[in-house]
């Protein structure tokens, strides 16, 4: 096979091929994974969720224990009085002012642009235009918030002039595709060297982040903005409702009496850079993406296997990739949705892998709700913050620890904790399980 099977698109940009590329980083040597190059650093963070419109606000809420769930204010559904959701606390009109995109565009794109832009600004990469830059984003239902409004008109056959199917303004459905949301944002960010979208349900943005890291390790890109976005939609809310896994109260992940999940919305992105780019930055990145793994539970389309096979394989695979032992992990940001099925499967896999030494653990979905295609991105941001600040987040509303598990999740916000390695779990429909490990250098 010829070397360099993929040719990145920029014509004017010179790849940064360093002499160090032939050397291998320490993790790779452990795995004898000789073709992999340098480490991939996290240079910037951006997030918007029910607990804050930017990273600083989210961090404040995490510290003060302020959850983001409640009654629907901006999102509307027949189930508004029954089902709490974790909304981003801004109307579409004000969101449009923040993002700069027109209101006619999907809320998913607005959230994405706001968080991705924050991440890029945070990274402060001066010469970004001369670097090979990619935007790898995830979402679960694209521009569905607009499509489902379009559909009401599309299906109505009441108009005398137009039969059903001829109605509805096309602008409501033109950005329906998942990839279309990504492109709206990429075009605003001015990124065109590599753009793609991943959709593997709730593990989508974890997969986007590590696909981005691999694009850098393979020397196809220098900088990647990676993560995911999802807005609340009736489509998703009703879909989850039919599965009977939504909690009518505020969710209680890893509680023995947990009842289900609360849906949320938001976006989270990290800016990944090569070691070479990291060395040129004024603000030196201190965290790497050291491990990652994608495995499939292959058990059921929507349910996890009782022993958490997929979760176990994803976590152990990520540890292997990072060259770490379970005892090296200081904190696990759990997938922890609050459903009966997820929490016992995830917990059983953790027991199998970590027993008897359990790291601190919590589900930040107790704050943000389950943001689906965005959760891997938002929780990656929280994981990096945990490493940067030496903090552990509480798992809110825990009353009774799960009887079947030998460990309890953390219930308090802890400061000055020595955090060197964080494991972040994202598991989804279709058995898709992905784990990421972030490490402090």
Partner 1 sequence: MYIRATGNISPQKTFGHLSFLTEVVEYSGNRLACIEPDYKTFIDVKLIRRMSRIIRLGVAAAMECLQEADVKIPDAIVTGTAYGCLEDTGSFLTKMVEFNEELLTPTSFIQSTHNTIGAQIGLMLKCNNYNNAFVHRGFSFESALLDGMMLLQEKDATNVLIGAIDEITNISHAILSRMGLYKNGPVSNLEMYKTISKGTIAGEGAAFFLLANEPSLNDYANLDGLKTFYKPENEKEVENQILSFLAAHSISLSDIDLIITGKNGDTISDKIYDHLTNGIFNNCSIVHYKNLCGEYPTASSFALWMGANIIKTGAVPAALEYTGNKKDEIKNILIYNHYQQTHHSLFLISAC
Binding to partner 1, residues 1-30 (CB under 8 A): 1-2, 4-9, 11
Pairing of β 331-333 and β 360-362: parallel
335 included as an active-site residue = yes
CA count, 13 A, side-chain hemisphere, 215 = 27
Reading the block at residue 111, the tokens are 């959230």
Residues 317-356 that bind partner 1 (CB under 8 A): none
Smallest gap from Cβ 302 to partner 1, in A, equals: 6
> Which phi and psi (to 5°) does residue 293 adopt?
-160, 140
Residues 377-406 that bind partner 1 (CB under 8 A): none
Specify the stretch interacting with partner 1 by CB under 8 A; choose among 19-27, 60-68, 297-305, 391-399: 297-305
Specify the stretch interacting with partner 1 by CB under 8 A; choose among 215-223, 344-352, 363-371, 414-422: 215-223
Which of 178, 202, 251, 375 is flagged as catalytic?
202
Which of 293, 370, 421, 433 is flagged as catalytic?
370
Residues 165-204 that bind partner 1 (CB under 8 A): 165-166, 170, 173-174, 177-180, 182-183, 192-201
- By CB under 8 A, residue 147 contacts partner 1: yes
Structural element, H or E, at residue 48: strand 40-49
Specify the stretch interacting with partner 1 by CB under 8 A; choose among 149-157, 266-274, 375-383, 411-419: 149-157
Q: Measure the CA–CA gap between 22 and 275, rounded to whole angstroms.
A: 13
Specify the stretch interacting with partner 1 by CB under 8 A; choose among 106-114, 305-313, 336-344, 419-427: 305-313
**x/- track of binding to partner 1 for residues 103-142 (CB under 8 A):** -------------------------------------x-x
Nearest to 109 by CA among 143, 149, 59: 143
Q: Measure the CA–CA gap between 436 and 377, rounded to whole angstroms.
A: 11
Among 429, 437, 438, 440, binds partner 1 (CB under 8 A): 429
SS (H, E, C) 89-102: CCCHHHHHHHHCCC
Whether residue 285 contacts residue 431, with contact meaning beta carbons closer than 8 Å, is answered with: no
Nearest to 439 by CA among 291, 282, 300, 252: 291
Q: Of the two residues 312 and 438, which places its CB atom closer to partner 1 in the complex?
A: 312
Smallest gap from Cβ 384 to partner 1, in A, equals: 23
CA count, 13 A, side-chain hemisphere, 135 = 27
Q: How many angstroms separate the Cα of 224 from the Cα of each of 126, 277, 399, 439?
A: 15, 11, 41, 18
Residues with catalytic roles: 202, 335, 370
């Amino acid at each position: 096979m010829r070397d360099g099977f993929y040719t990145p698109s920029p014509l004017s940009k010179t790849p940064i091929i360093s002499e160090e590329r032939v050397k291998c980083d320490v993790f790779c040597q452990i795995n004898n994974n000789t073709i992999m190059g340098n480490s991939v650093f996290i240079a910037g963070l951006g997030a918007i969720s029910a607990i804050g419109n930017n990273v600083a606000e989210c961090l404040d809420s995490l510290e003060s224990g302020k959850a983001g769930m409640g009654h629907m204010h901006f999102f509307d559904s027949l189930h508004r009085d029954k089902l709490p959701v974790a909304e981003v606390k801004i109307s579409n009109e004000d969101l449009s002012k923040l993002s700069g995109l027109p209101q006619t565009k999907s809320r998913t794109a607005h959230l994405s642009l706001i968080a991705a832009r924050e991440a890029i600004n945070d990274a402060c990469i001066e010469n970004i235009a001369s670097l090979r830059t990619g935007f790898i984003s995830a979402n679960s239902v694209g521009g569905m918030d607009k499509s489902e409004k379009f559909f009401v008109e599309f299906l109505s056959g009441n108009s005398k002039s137009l039969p059903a199917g001829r109605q509805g303004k096309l602008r409501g459905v033109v950005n329906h595709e998942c990839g279309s949301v990504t492109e709206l944002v990429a075009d605003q960010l001015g990124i065109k060297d590599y753009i793609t979208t991943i959709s593997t349900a709730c593990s989508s943005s974890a997969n986007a982040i590590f696909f981005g890291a691999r694009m850098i390790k393979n020397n196809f890109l220098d900088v990647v903005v990676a993560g995911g976005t999802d807005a609340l939609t009736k489509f998703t809310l009703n879909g989850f409702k039919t599965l009977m896994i939504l909690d009518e109260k505020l969710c209680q992940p890893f509680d023995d009496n947990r009842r289900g999940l609360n849906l949320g919305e938001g976006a989270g992105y990290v800016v990944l850079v090569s070691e070479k780019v990291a060395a040129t930055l004024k603000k030196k990145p201190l965290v790497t993406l050291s491990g990652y793994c994608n495995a499939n539970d292959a058990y059921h389309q929507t349910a996890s296997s009782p022993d958490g096979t997929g979760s176990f394989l994803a976590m152990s695979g990520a540890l292997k990739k990072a060259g770490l032992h379970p005892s090296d992990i200081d904190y696990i940001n759990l997938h922890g949705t609050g459903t009966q099925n997820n929490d016992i499967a995830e917990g059983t896999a953790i027991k199998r892998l970590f027993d008897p030494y359990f790291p601190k653990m919590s589900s930040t979905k107790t704050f943000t709700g389950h943001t689906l295609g965005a959760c891997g991105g938002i929780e990656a941001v929280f994981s990096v913050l945990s490493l940067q600040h030496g903090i552990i987040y509480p798992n809110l509303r825990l009353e009774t620890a799960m009887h079947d598990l030998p460990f309890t999740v953390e219930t308090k916000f802890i400061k000055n904790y020595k955090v060197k390695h964080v494991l972040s779990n994202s598991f989804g429909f279709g058995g898709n399980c992905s784990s990421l490990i972030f490490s402090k250098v």
